[in-house]
Amino acid sequence: MRAGRIVLGLLVILILCGGAFFFWASWPEIAAIQPPAKTSFDPAAVKRGGELVAIGNCITCHTRSDGKPLAGGRALTTPFGRIYATNITPDPDTGIGRWSQEAFDRAMRRGVDRRGEHLYPAFPYDHFTQLSENDLKAIYAYLMTREPVQALMPANELPFPLNLRVTVAAWKLLFLRTGTYRSDPVHDVEWNHGAYLANSLAHCGACHTPRNFLAAEERGDAFGGGSAEGWYAPALNAASPAPVPWTKDSLYTYLRHGFEAQHGSPTGPMREVVASLAQVPESDVRAIATYVASLAPPNPDRQRRAEALLRKLGQPETVGAALPAPPNAGAAIFAGACAVCHSPTRSSGSAEGINLALSSAVNGPDPRNAIRVIIGGIHQADTEPGPLMPDFGGAFTDAQIADLLNYVRTRFAGQPTWPDLLDHIRRIRQGQDNS
Amino acid sequence: MVTLTVNGRQHQTDAETDTPLLYVLRDELGLNGAKFGCGLGQCGACTVNVDGRAIYSCLTPIVALEGKEITTLEGLGTVDKPHPLQRAFMDEQAAQCGYCIAGMIMRANALLQNQPGASEAVIRAHMQPNLCRCGTHMRILRAVRRAALAMKEAAR
């Protein structure tokens, strides 16, 4: 009898909670509008919107490799399945042409589309929720004045129950904290502008913060290093693997120009980010650099080690004056394939590669970037001449790449070889490990 | 001593193991199709095929090539019986000074062996690493397209 009451009581509580959850999880449709005329938007807002869209790097996910800009269709590989980015051109039927400003704001801040459906957090509204009203207006103005493109998306490939969008509501209950950015009075205006952009629109943490098993960012380890499309996104906080600590000036140069002498070039998805940041006002990039540099507080030990390293690299005649006689295949491959650009003792003019002792990819905890760069090279956009770094995927076997990286890691980083290196190489070569 | 398989024939070389393949091809084997351009993997003039893929022979040490099939321009066709790519480059007169052409043909060959009839977009993306300083790119692309059609026909 008593047990029966307890069961009944629990059942009532469960139903009430379930009801409350579904009530909380359901959003009304926002009425469709006639697509607004291009002339109805303030040209200044459209211009700023374009810059903001570049800072948010929206175009990368929302454009297929052979598609029109912002017309969607690019597949995002997540640990759970594939999600296709939507068409955010103002096409009335397949894009956001019938979305009001209110509907757009709700999608950006709450992750709910015009019809009231939950959006998957592959769309980083956990960051965009911090955007100011003015910036949302500008972004909306820019998007609604693009050329509409009719393009339907393939259906997402997600397993049950994740294919039910209500599961996203549960995720939001656990992990989504809404609210616009609040400036920190301890810091100056530039730092706050950078913190605002980096944490909201630029969504740096989406890649550079590790995620938990439900793919939410680990709040306790913000900027502690994460993953993006199978690349390692290095830690930006005190755990940064950069042998020479980043400063706001070096970060600015890297983010703005795509190369910085003591850190090298961006690789993987970061190349697209940097290409976007070349198009926005300098002050925005400086602000982001100022904020990101502050994530790793000054560390006298690291600074001393960096200075010692730079002194050593500045004296090529005493450091490895000759390459050591190849004792193994890795050393011979380095001498024949890499040294012409990456040798600390040879200069090779315009194609001079970074000294690998300075490379985060070689010094970091995760070998994937070094593997991917060797297999695929670093390529310029189609319209620019030549590769930056040629690809070696056709020249070397998996075992040869492992030999090479074991050699590079011990010689230049002075660190133990990466564990499970060959396994990483195999997985990358087979097109696995892409999330 | 490294053993290389070039155009189906085995060669032994005493060269140091870190010697780039290009030097062995040109200096020891007399195969002068592949050219030295930049020596940095930036121009593609040295391109040959290894196990069907395009590689920069100026940056591939011979130690990495044992047991692999190396194909150079000389392995494609003969004067009497040119390969469809060689035929297409002649028909389109797709050369000015000609220095880049061996590399162009070998890069195209790596694509068309696997994908005869590759589309224009695929061809352009694939050929992107190879440079021509004379500006013959449009003829080169026409020649590759012509060869793609011919090889697709032949594959039927």
CA dihedral A73, A76, A82, A87 (to 10 degrees): -30
Cβ neighbours of A332 in B, within 8 Å? 16-18, 61, 63
User: What is the residue whose two structure tokens read 């060689």?
Assistant: B86
Pairing of strands B2-6, B69-71: parallel
Q: Does B63 touch chain A (CB under 8 A)?
A: yes
Q: From the list B18, B121, B128, which residue is nearest A335 (CB)?
A: B18
Asked whether the beta carbons of B141 and B114 are under 8 A apart, the reply is no
Q: Does B1 touch chain A (CB under 8 A)?
A: no
Q: Does A326 touch chain B (CB under 8 A)?
A: yes
Q: Does A320 touch chain B (CB under 8 A)?
A: no
**H helix count then E strand count, chain A:** 19, 6
What does the pLDDT look like over B97-107, one tens digit per residue?
999 999 999 99
- Helix orientation angle between B84-91 and B137-155, rounded to the nearest 10 degrees: 140
Asked whether the beta carbons of A214 and A417 are under 8 A apart, the reply is no
Asked whether the beta carbons of B21 and B60 are under 8 A apart, the reply is yes
Question: Per-residue pLDDT for B20 more than 80?
Answer: yes
Question: Per-residue pLDDT for B18 more than 80?
Answer: yes
Q: Does B36 touch chain A (CB under 8 A)?
A: no
Cβ neighbours of A377 in B, within 8 Å? 41
The per-residue DSSP string of A389-425 comes to E---TTT--HHHHHHHHHHHIIIII-SPPPTTHHHHH
Inspect the interface and report whether the beta carbons of B17 and A326 lie closer than 8 Å: yes
Residue B143: other Cβ atoms inside 10 A: 26
Residues 104-143 of B with CB under 8 A from A: 110, 121, 124-125, 128-129, 131
pLDDT tens series, chain A, 435 aa: 677 787 777 787 888 788 777 877 889 999 999 999 999 999 999 999 999 999 999 999 999 988 999 999 999 998 899 999 999 999 999 999 999 999 999 999 999 999 999 999 999 999 999 999 999 999 999 999 999 999 999 999 999 999 999 999 999 999 999 999 999 999 999 999 999 999 999 999 999 999 999 999 999 999 999 999 999 999 999 999 999 999 999 999 999 998 898 999 999 999 999 999 999 999 999 999 999 999 999 999 999 999 999 998 876 544 444 455 556 889 999 999 999 889 876 554 445 788 999 999 999 999 999 999 999 999 877 666 556 899 999 999 999 999 999 999 999 999 999 999 999 999 999 987 776
Q: Does B149 touch chain A (CB under 8 A)?
A: no
Measure B80 CA to nearest chain A CA, in Å.
Answer: 31
Measure B138 CA to nearest chain A CA, in Å.
Answer: 14
What is the pLDDT, as a whole number, of residue A343?
81
Q: Does A400 touch chain B (CB under 8 A)?
A: yes
Q: From the list B20, B43, B121, which residue is nearest A336 (CB)?
A: B20
Cβ neighbours of B25 in A, within 8 Å? none
What is the pLDDT, as a whole number, of residue A433?
72
Q: From the list B16, B41, B65, which residue is nearest A390 (CB)?
A: B41
What is the Cα–Cα distance from B80 to B74, expressed in whole angstroms?
Answer: 13
Would the pTM of this model clear 0.80, i.e. be above it?
Answer: yes
Measure A242 CA to nearest chain B CA, in Å.
Answer: 26
Measure A402 CA to nearest chain B CA, in Å.
Answer: 12
Searching chain A, which residue's CA lies closest to the CA of residue B49? A394
- Sign of the CA dihedral with A283 first, then A284, A285, and A288 last: positive
User: What is the residue whose two structure tokens read 């050699």?
Assistant: A407
Cβ neighbours of B41 in A, within 8 Å? 377, 387, 389-390
- Please calculate the CA angle B69-A380-A295 and round it to the nearest 5 degrees: 115
Cβ neighbours of B64 in A, within 8 Å? 329, 333, 336-337, 395-397, 400
Cβ neighbours of B121 in A, within 8 Å? 66
What is the Cα–Cα distance from B24 to A225, expressed in whole angstroms?
Answer: 44
**Contact residues for A190 (Cβ-Cβ < 8 A; gap 6+):** A283, A286, A287, A290
What is the pLDDT, as a whole number, of residue B151?
93
Collapse the DSSP code of B2 into the 3-class scheme (helix H, G, I; strand E, B; otherwise coil) and give the result. Answer: strand
Inspect the interface and report whether the beta carbons of B63 and A329 lie closer than 8 Å: yes
3-state SS, one letter per residue, for A284-330 = HHHHHHHHHHHCCCCCHHHHHHHHHHHHHHCCCCCCCCCCCCCCCHH
Residues 345-384 of A with CB under 8 A from B: 348, 351, 377, 379, 382
Measure A357 CA to nearest chain B CA, in Å.
Answer: 20
Interface test with B, best of A392, A403, A407 (most B CBs within 10 A): A392
Q: Does A395 touch chain B (CB under 8 A)?
A: yes
How far, rounded to the nearest angstrom, does the alpha carbon of residue A363 sit from its chain's CA centroid? 20
Give, in order, the Cα–Cα distances in Å from A224 to each of A143, A216, A236, A301, B51. Answer: 33, 14, 6, 19, 41
Q: Give me the amino acid identity at A26.
A: S
Between chain A and chain B, how many beta carbons pairs sit less than 8 Å apart?
A: 86
What is the pLDDT, as a whole number, of residue A349?
47
- The rounded mean pLDDT for chain B is 96
Residue A177: other Cβ atoms inside 10 A: 9
User: Is the bond into A344 cis (omega within 30 degrees of 0)?
Assistant: no
**Contact residues for A311 (Cβ-Cβ < 8 A; gap 6+):** none
Cβ neighbours of B51 in A, within 8 Å? 394
Q: From the list A332, A387, A397, which residue is nearest B18 (CB)?
A: A332
Residue B40: other Cβ atoms inside 10 A: 21
What is the pLDDT, as a whole number, of residue A377?
93
